[in-house]
Amino acid sequence: MALSSSSAAPVIDEALYSRQLYVIDHASMLKVMETNVLLIGLGGLGVEIAKGVILSGVRSVTLFDKQPTTLEDLGSQFFLSEEDVGRSRAAASLGKLRELNNYVAVELHEGDLDEETLSRFQVVVATNLPLDEQVRINRFCHARGIRFISTELHGVIGSIFVDLGNKFEVREPIDEALDIYSIINIDRGEKTIITLSEETSLKLGNGSLIKFSGVQGMEEINLLAPVEIKRIDQLSFSIDVDSTNWSPYIKDGVATEFRPALIMDFLPLEEALVKPKLQDFGLPKFDKAQQVHLGLIALGQFHRENNRFPTPHNAEDVATFLRIVTDLNEARHIVEEIDTAFLSIYATLSTVQISPLAAAFGGIVGQEVIKASSGKFTPISQFLHLDYTNALPANYLSLDKSEFDTNGQNARYSAYIKTFGKTVMESIFKQKNFLVGAGAIGCELLKNFAMIGLGVKGGYVQVTDMDTIEKSNLNRQFLFRSDNVGGFKSKVAAAAAKVMNPEFNVVAHSTRVGPDTENYFNDAFMGDLDLVTNALDNIEARIYVDGRCVTFRKPLLESGTLGAKANLQVVVPDLTVSYASSSDPPEKTFPLCTIHFYPYKIEHNIAWARDFFEGTFKNAIDNVNGYIRNRNYLASLDSQSRKTKLDVVKGIYETVVSHRATSFRDCVIWARLRFQELFYDRLSQMLHDLPLDMVTDAGIPFWSPPKRAPTPVIFDADNDLHLDFIQAAAHIRAFNFGIKEVENRDAIRDLVRAVPVPEFNPRQKVFNGSADPNQVADVAAAAIDEDFSSKLPSPAELQGYTMFAADFEKDDDSNFHIDFITAISNVRAVAYGIETCDRHKTKGIAGKIIPALITTTSAIAGFVVMELIKVVQKKDIETLNNTFLNLSVPSFVFAEPEPAPKIVITPTWSITLWDNLSFVEPLTFQEFIERFDKERNIELTMITCESSLVYAFFQTKHLKTEISKAYKSIKPDFQGTFINMSILGRYKETGADVELPLVRYKVQC
């Protein structure tokens, strides 16, 4: 039963939900945590929805399903086992679903679905119910304001229907950060024209809404309600507001994108079936939505007349279904022309559920539940119909019926045999797959691999991940439980997947994949594989694995998520481009001068705060320990720049001599003096050297946007933000010195009031901004002439003295690291007139946390495995789908992969990126060169082996040496089976330089 409401406000466990909270804000999360959900149906599709909703943190989930467990259920319902056969699916799943999240009450309803039961819930989700039952339940829910979602899966075809009632408010329609633009000028007139800083390019179009703030002089514009813009160019726009009589613009200000709430009205199912709103994919290859809609209605009528669904591959049932389809279409004109073949597949697979599409639809529906609970993001309006019939074998309807008959064997995989046939499934059973990564996507893939039987008969799945499990992983990496924290992800995930399918042949590794582990994941390992699936979270590793797949000509399935967005790329030898052909953009960085001197965004301050943390609490301490342990430490700095060496020596001196801490009081004193230095003295010096009225050599005011002139901060012990800085800084300093006795906040306030602070006196010119306003040199820091090294105690005098460097750790709330970053960046924000940032957002930016949702992860992993099934069948490129999801909009884009382009080497020789030349017989360099000359009319000019130059036209040392022997004389520790050789040459007929394809040469010794 649903839980009764409680007056106690829920408390968010930020350690558990941290990644989710960067997509679903705290206010939305609180709404989610107050939601009671009824889930009807616990087959493969239902359990996927249950998993996502429970991990997302709703208040309660009540399960309803009286269907007894069958052996076929084991192929998609991962929380059932052979011991559960005969038990109700809901009851059998209850215990394992409860393990997913201790904050969510998971209950079982064994009575009827009467109106009294339905009225206890805020959201009702129905899976694979007969259409008449869906209509009955929805009619009641719509009238009572209960959010209703239904979904059904029929083999490779699925549908979702969403009814969130009338006047449903969507507070934030999309998972995208608001655009913010720095203003440098505003021209008054009947139409007001706004000019933006060159560092910000206008992305918004006509009709977008903007809100102004921080404008100095023209204060009237700050009071405007959100107003529509008319784009002029990428650096200016106008608004239809007469500002003729307004005050003149002086400086500063930002224009922030404004997204209004949406109000949506939903039809009840009974009406929506007649007047459907269908999700538009915008691509001809997904034009079957109307056919699916016709099939959905016909299937409801078939069940009404027969009290069952069609039997798989039963010709009589299919014929009956098609007669219903024809009669319906004649009466309602749903489609112009009935696709008989497509609807025959719809009927024949009407009772079948397969794990990959259950995962995909389960993830999508799970996100719709979160939308229904919170009003965060745009719901589906109202039908989503999707088919994956292109994953079926060619000539599907013409295949002999015996192809789909299990003959009482392989019952666990019977749904897949009914869907894809024995021949395809035998290939899947033999596959040898390498899964790189066992995090969120990795867990979902392992589950799907186990369900479909990937590698269970003569094949295998090898999985590797060097990371260990953290608490924050438990919210979206569903194979892990709290008692697994600290264990290797790959090993725990593999063991959990093995429980789901005892036949699953999975081998776990905890070794990183990279150039330094090629002796581990060696040529023999790669050569034995059939395909590779990536579940990685960084571009460098993705590019490396992609390169290995190109070298060894292995298909690669590459995927990733970012909040509500996800993507999938299919990489197939000879057919498509590789991942590296168009990889993800590099991580955004900021100019150093902006970070250190001219911040205008909170992100600049947080980047500066991280640099300060590393330099002060880690690097400086490492330098002290290095000095103590290595008597030649100072001499080792001679290779560094003079400024760097002076900074290191000065830092050691200040740490062990002038500011050495022996008590927590010393740490408070140090923190107070650093506050004064950072936020009063340094900023006062900057304004002394670069006054507010300063102009550049070009006659432009130096302090022009986006630059902001700082205001020195006067410390106030009663200012909570100031005290936050002192408290956090003092605690981390105490950790550095191994001081255990610390004080509480009130005691710190009393201590800091008593700290004497030297009066500030301007020094010689420190900041020089006149020659180049984009560059500032801290002259004082570079001109430290005092010989601090002569004042240092000798390393012998410090023997036994150990300091403790603070390695930045974002997920430990007791270490004050995030508290310090938040405080120092916000004090600086106040000084520069930048909007401050709460601790949660600061943690996300400073910790480079990737926003993540279990729902998105589940959905994209399901689509990955559907593409894997196509790759196993060696499908043509026209059937493959690169996939781009944004569950917040929602948007589903399926595009054909880009084909591998031909590269012309010579007029008679063209290649693609997949072409490499293999040589297995022993050759000297001379013989190798002559081979190209004779066969390709190419004169080789340079050869590198694994990035080492081994031959050039001006260097003939190794000409008569066998290639692998020559290479091992340069790299004696090389242990690979093949050497990768990059070659440059000259086409002799024209003299044109050519770059040849990769050459793989078999090691001979």
Whether the CB-CB separation of 983 and 953 falls below 8 Å is answered with: no
Residue 625, C-beta contacts closer than 8 angstroms, at least 6 positions apart: 802, 803, 805
The pLDDT value recorded for residue 168 is 97
The closest alpha carbon to 58, from 31, 39, 40, 79, belongs to: 31
Q: Does the pLDDT of residue 283 top 70, yes or no?
A: no
Q: Does the pLDDT of residue 285 top 80, yes or no?
A: no
> Residues 389, 393, 398, 402: is their CA dihedral positive or negative?
negative
Q: How many angstroms separate the CA atoms of 293 and 274, rounded?
A: 10
Distances (CA, A) of 702 to 274, 685, 746, 768, 946: 66, 16, 43, 11, 51
Choice among 141, 443, 549, 593 that is catalytic: 593
* Average pLDDT value for residue range 13-20: 90
HEC readout, 581-633: HHCCCCCCCCCHHHHHCCCCCHHHHHHHHHHHHHHHHHHHHHHHHHHHHCCCH
* Average pLDDT value for residue range 775-779: 41
Q: How many angstroms separate the CA atoms of 965 and 971, rounded?
A: 10
Whether the CB-CB separation of 17 and 123 falls below 8 Å is answered with: no
Q: How many angstroms separate the CA atoms of 572 and 439, rounded?
A: 24
Whether the CB-CB separation of 266 and 166 falls below 8 Å is answered with: yes
Give the single-character DSSP code of 336. Answer: S
Q: Does the pLDDT of residue 408 top 80, yes or no?
A: no
**Burial of 261 by CB count in 10 Å (0-12 exposed, 13-18 middle, 19+ buried)?**
exposed
Buried b (16+ CB within 10 A) or exposed e, 808-818: bebbeeebbbb
What does the block give as tokens for 518?
């090629």
Q: Does the pLDDT of residue 788 top 90, yes or no?
A: no
Element spanning 724, H or E: helix 720-736
Residue 963, C-beta contacts closer than 8 angstroms, at least 6 positions apart: 922, 923, 924, 925, 928, 945, 950, 979, 981, 1001, 1004
The closest alpha carbon to 162, from 118, 113, 125, belongs to: 125
Residue 540, C-beta contacts closer than 8 angstroms, at least 6 positions apart: none
Higher model confidence: residue 159 or residue 637?
A: 159
Whether the CB-CB separation of 37 and 87 falls below 8 Å is answered with: no
Dump the DSSP string for 426-490.
HHHHH-EEEEE--SHHHHHHHHHHHHHTTTTTT-EEEEE---B--GGGGGT-TT--GGGTTSBHH
Whether the CB-CB separation of 399 and 421 falls below 8 Å is answered with: yes
Q: Does the pLDDT of residue 769 top 80, yes or no?
A: no
Q: How many angstroms separate the CA atoms of 966 and 4, rounded?
A: 78
Residue 282, C-beta contacts closer than 8 angstroms, at least 6 positions apart: 893
Q: How many angstroms separate the CA atoms of 863 and 533, rounded?
A: 12
For residue 384, give the 3-state DSSP assignment.
strand
With tokens 């959201």, the residue in question is: 123
Point out the least confidently predicted range of 394-398, 954-958, 980-984: 954-958
With tokens 């009238």, the residue in question is: 143
Whether the CB-CB separation of 390 and 869 falls below 8 Å is answered with: no
What backbone torsions phi and psi does residue 594 show, to the nearest 5 degrees?
-65, -45
pLDDT averaged over the chain?
A: 91
What does the block give as tokens for 542?
């993705």
Go through the chain and tell me how many residues it has.
1005
Report residue 286's pLDDT band, with 50, 70 and 90 as the boundaries.
low
The pLDDT value recorded for residue 583 is 60
With tokens 């005691």, the residue in question is: 747
* Amino acid residing at 299: L
Whether the CB-CB separation of 667 and 734 falls below 8 Å is answered with: yes
Active site includes 593? Answer: yes
Q: How many angstroms separate the CA atoms of 726 and 673, rounded?
A: 10
Peptide bond before residue 706 is cis, with ω within 30 degrees of 0: yes
* Average pLDDT value for residue range 619-648: 84
Q: What is the pLDDT of residues 734-767, one digit of tens each?
A: 999 999 988 899 999 999 999 999 999 988 877 7
The pLDDT value recorded for residue 584 is 62
Q: How many angstroms separate the CA atoms of 723 and 729, rounded?
A: 10
Strands 938-945 and 948-952: what pairing?
antiparallel
For residue 957, give the 3-state DSSP assignment.
coil
For residue 543, give the 3-state DSSP assignment.
helix
Q: What is the pLDDT of residues 121-168, one digit of tens each?
A: 999 999 999 999 999 999 999 999 999 999 999 999 999 999 999 999
Q: How many angstroms separate the CA atoms of 425 and 445, rounded?
A: 18
Report residue 114's pLDDT band, with 50, 70 and 90 as the boundaries.
very high
Report residue 650's pLDDT band, with 50, 70 and 90 as the boundaries.
confident
Report residue 948's pLDDT band, with 50, 70 and 90 as the boundaries.
confident
Q: How many angstroms separate the CA atoms of 644 and 634, rounded?
A: 12
The pLDDT value recorded for residue 786 is 55
Instruction: Count the neighbouring beta carbons within 10 Å of the beta carbon of residue 942.
Output: 16
Residue 408, C-beta contacts closer than 8 angstroms, at least 6 positions apart: none
Element spanning 729, H or E: helix 720-736
* Average pLDDT value for residue range 668-673: 97
Instruction: Count the neighbouring beta carbons within 10 Å of the beta carbon of residue 152.
Output: 23
Q: In 202-352, which residue ranges form alpha helices assigned H by DSSP?
A: 269-272, 289-306, 315-332, 340-348
Instruction: Provide the CA 848 distance to its chain's centre, in angstroms.
Output: 11
Measured CA angle at 126 (ends 157, 147), to 5 deg? 115
- What percentage of the chain exceeds 90 in pLDDT? 71
Point out the least confidently predicted range of 630-639, 703-712, 834-843: 630-639
Q: What is the pLDDT of residues 679-727, one digit of tens each?
A: 999 999 999 999 999 988 888 888 888 888 999 999 999 999 999 999 9
> Residues 741, 742, 746, 748: is their CA dihedral positive or negative?
positive
Whether the CB-CB separation of 981 and 1000 falls below 8 Å is answered with: yes
* Amino acid residing at 529: L
Whether the CB-CB separation of 277 and 265 falls below 8 Å is answered with: no
What does the block give as tokens for 111?
């009575």
Q: Does the pLDDT of residue 774 top 60, yes or no?
A: no
Q: What is the pLDDT of residues 857-912, one digit of tens each?
A: 999 999 999 999 999 999 999 999 999 999 999 999 999 999 999 988 888 888 88
Dump the DSSP string for 656-671.
IIIT--SSHHHHHHHH
HEC readout, 23-82: CCCHHHHHHHCCCEEEEECCCHHHHHHHHHHHHHCCCEEEEECCCECCCHHHHCCCCCCH
Q: Does the pLDDT of residue 242 top 80, yes or no?
A: yes
Distances (CA, A) of 416 to 70, 151, 280: 15, 20, 29
For residue 198, give the 3-state DSSP assignment.
coil
The pLDDT value recorded for residue 585 is 63
* Amino acid residing at 104: V
Report residue 960's pLDDT band, with 50, 70 and 90 as the boundaries.
confident
Element spanning 892, H or E: strand 891-895
Q: What is the pLDDT of residues 513-554, one digit of tens each?
A: 998 898 899 989 999 999 999 999 888 899 999 989 998 999
With tokens 């179009």, the residue in question is: 205
- What percentage of the chain exceeds 70 in pLDDT? 96
* Average pLDDT value for residue range 83-110: 96
